[in-house]
Amino acid sequence: MPELMILAEGGGSGGNVPVVILLAALATFAIAYVIVGPGRQRRGPKRHGDIPLAMRPYHSDEELETTGMERAMSWGVALAVFASLFVPLYWLIEPERINNRVDDFYEQDVQAGRALFAEACASCHGTNLEGGSAPHPSPDVDAPWPAPALDNIVARYQDSEIVDDVHEFIMLTLIHGRAGTPMNAFGVASGGLYSDQQLEAITAYILSVQTGQLPEVEAFVGRSGDDLFDQHCARCHGPQAEGYVGPQLINVFERYGWDPEDEASLEQARAAILDTLRVGRNVPGEAPMPSYEGVITEEAMVAIVDYLESFQQTGGPRAGQIGGEPTASDDEETSS
């Protein structure tokens, strides 16, 4: 009875009563088999035991119309009762069994993901996902590259306008990495060493240990805009805003519609850049710009925009042009 073992295994406490009823139906079926079915023929000596089966005489008409027909009808009743009980009971028990198996597979993924995270991610993001740092991808820069904490990634992107699905966001990051940053591609399709199943396990582990706690907003105590830019922006946009992982910002106001002859266009450009700092940006295939809302104060963001305004040029290279050559983010940035 393998089916019954599976049913009893997955039924839980709520599935005990249906299993008992099902067992009773099977017992009734067995009784019917012995009383009115072929089982009753086995109680006496075998008839025609020395005659080959194909040569034995068949039932007489009288037997076919009496005991034979009664046996057939009894079998039909027994099978109908069994089916009428088995099918709905199986239908009631199966969803809970499936849910239990899903939970089991999830626990297995979390356990495997914990080991894989320790192997591939903990050196940068911390053993307990608390965040850390990685060597800067440029050999000319000694300062480490900050690696964000991952134990609050759901809370960080809960109200994000650039990330709709945190699970998908983590998976895509693991598969493709972040170009120009220390975050390598881990997916086999992108030249990494891990299968999609292993990356799913890592993602399951990350999502299973979420604390929901966001770091306190960094206090702004008269710090200059260039100091804030160096701390939060320079590693992607370059120390002189010349562009590195992210686009150059030397003429970012112009790209957002600034015209030196039009004062209103300046406020429009400032508002657009402030909105980008608040919301962030996620361009597929490139390193995302995180939202700084909840990281630094609104006053600090305004100070960064003031600093950018202080060196804006017109007629310079487009968004993704560094050294005169367009990069992949060129069209994306100019169309924003």
Give the C-alpha separation, 205 to 213, whole Å. 17
The reported pLDDT for the residue numbered 285 is 62
The reported pLDDT for the residue numbered 317 is 65
The tokens for 299 are 């006053």
Q: Which amino acid, one-letter code, is at 27? A: A
Q: Are residues 322 and 248 in the same domain?
A: yes
Instruction: Tell me if 182 sits within 8 A of 134, measured CB to CB.
Output: yes
Q: Is residue 73 part of a domain?
A: yes
Report pLDDT digits (tens) over 284-317: 666 778 888 888 889 999 999 999 999 998 876 6
Number of domains in the chain: 3
Q: Is residue 219 part of a domain?
A: no
Q: Is residue 114 part of a domain?
A: no
Q: Is residue 148 part of a domain?
A: yes
Q: Is residue 234 part of a domain?
A: yes
Give the C-alpha separation, 140 to 196, whole Å. 34
Single residue among 82, 99, 116 that ends a domain in this structure = 99
Give the C-alpha separation, 294 to 278, whole Å. 9
For the entire predicted model, the pTM comes to: 0.66
Give the C-alpha separation, 11 to 257, whole Å. 64
| Structural domain for 229, as ranges | 225-334
Q: Is residue 115 part of a domain?
A: no
Backbone angles phi, psi at 263, to 5 degrees: -65, -35
Q: Are residues 264 and 330 in the same domain?
A: yes
Q: Are residues 156 and 186 in the same domain?
A: yes
The reported pLDDT for the residue numbered 167 is 95
Residues of the chain scoring pLDDT < 70 = 1-19, 21-22, 29, 32-49, 284-286, 316-336
Q: Are residues 128 and 80 in the same domain?
A: no
Q: Are residues 168 and 231 in the same domain?
A: no
Give the C-alpha separation, 288 to 329, whole Å. 11
Q: Are residues 198 and 233 in the same domain?
A: no
Q: Are residues 39 and 85 in the same domain?
A: yes
CATH code for the domain of 234: 1.10.760.10
Single residue among 208, 233, 255 that ends a domain in this structure = 208
The reported pLDDT for the residue numbered 318 is 61
The reported pLDDT for the residue numbered 329 is 42
Q: Are residues 192 and 265 in the same domain?
A: no
| Burial 64-94, CB ≥16 within 10 A → b, else e | eeeeeeebeeebeebeeebeebbeebeeebe
